[in-house]
């Protein structure tokens, strides 16, 4: 967490990673936001029932 008044740390990027960053530089913003994004109207959640069986459990069985 960065507090106001704290000096920013400058981190050097290793040379092996620099070509990758240059290739995808549109995904790395120059400035980051100061906090978390705003809350949206739709919040996703999964309601779980106690002792309920999973309907897709056979799909995750592994061979012995």
Place of tokens 């994004």: 37
pLDDT attached to residue 3: 52
Task: Report, as ranges of residue numbers, the positions in the chain whose pLDDT lies below 50.
Answer: 1-2
pLDDT, tens only, 16-25: 998 998 999 8
Its sign, for the CA torsion 44, 50, 52, 57, is positive
d(CA 21, CA 28): 8
């Amino acid at each position: 967490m960065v507090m106001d008044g704290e000096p920013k740390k400058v981190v050097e990027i290793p040379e092996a990673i620099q070509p990758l960053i240059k290739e995808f530089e549109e995904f790395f913003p120059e400035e980051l936001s100061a906090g978390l994004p705003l809350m949206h109207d739709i919040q996703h959640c999964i309601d779980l029932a106690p002792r309920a069986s999973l309907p897709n459990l056979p799909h995750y069985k592994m061979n012995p």
